[in-house]
Structure 1
């Protein structure tokens, strides 16, 4: 098991989680972050650091889609291991539902 980034990260991309990750398992897309499940050591330090509450333990119910999304994109996006500023309208998009279909960009 590992942690995964879910829908609420899209259009926000807060990187507080990246800064605390001891194994640098985060990868950065244009408007979303993912966790490589093969690199995550399940330490959980990232979860409480996410201002959007977008990081979940992959053992939770109904996260299969997000597990696959994290797995797929962590293989092709570049690694991120330093904190950056969030997206310009992060606070506006924090809490918006169903963002994947509307805003996700590969």
Structure 2
């Protein structure tokens, strides 16, 4: 099991979670942060610092955001486990679920 970053993070990306993650497993896409399930050690340090309450333990993800479990897993299918987000910096793509999410309205 791992943690998942869900819909409230889309277009917010506060990044407080990144500062708390002891293993650097939270990667940045253009619209959302992603937790690499192969690198996450399930410590839970990221969850309480998220100001928009977007991070959930995988089994506790609200049903309305269940697709984000898939997004966080599939996001790393091609990328694999590079060994830390800091090595790569911000990535140029989002998972299609995130990329297709409605844009915020003014």
Alignment pair present for 1:16 and 2:16: yes
Alignment gaps of 5+ in structure 1:
82-99
Give, in whole Å, the separation in 2 of the partners of 1:34 and 1:103.
18
Q: Alpha-carbon deviations, 1:34-75, whole Å to 9, x = none?
A: 101111111001000111100011011525421110012245
Greater length-normalized contact order (CA 8 Å, ≥ 6 residues apart): 1
1:4 corresponds in structure 2 to: 4
Give, in whole Å, the separation in 2 of the partners of 1:16 and 1:101.
22
Report the count of equivalent residues.
86
1:55 corresponds in structure 2 to: 55
Q: After the TM superposition, which residues 16-55 of structure 1 pair with which residues of structure 2 at under 5 Å, given as runs?
A: 16-55=16-55
CA RMSD of aligned residues (A): 2.4
2:75 corresponds in structure 1 to: 73
More deviation, 53-62/36-45? 53-62
**In proportion to residue count, which structure has more helix?**
2
Q: Alpha-carbon deviations, 1:1-58, whole Å to 9, x = none?
A: 1000000001100000001101111111111101011111110010001111000110
Give, in whole Å, the separation in 2 of the partners of 1:74 and 1:4.
13
Alignment gaps of 5+ in structure 2:
87-99
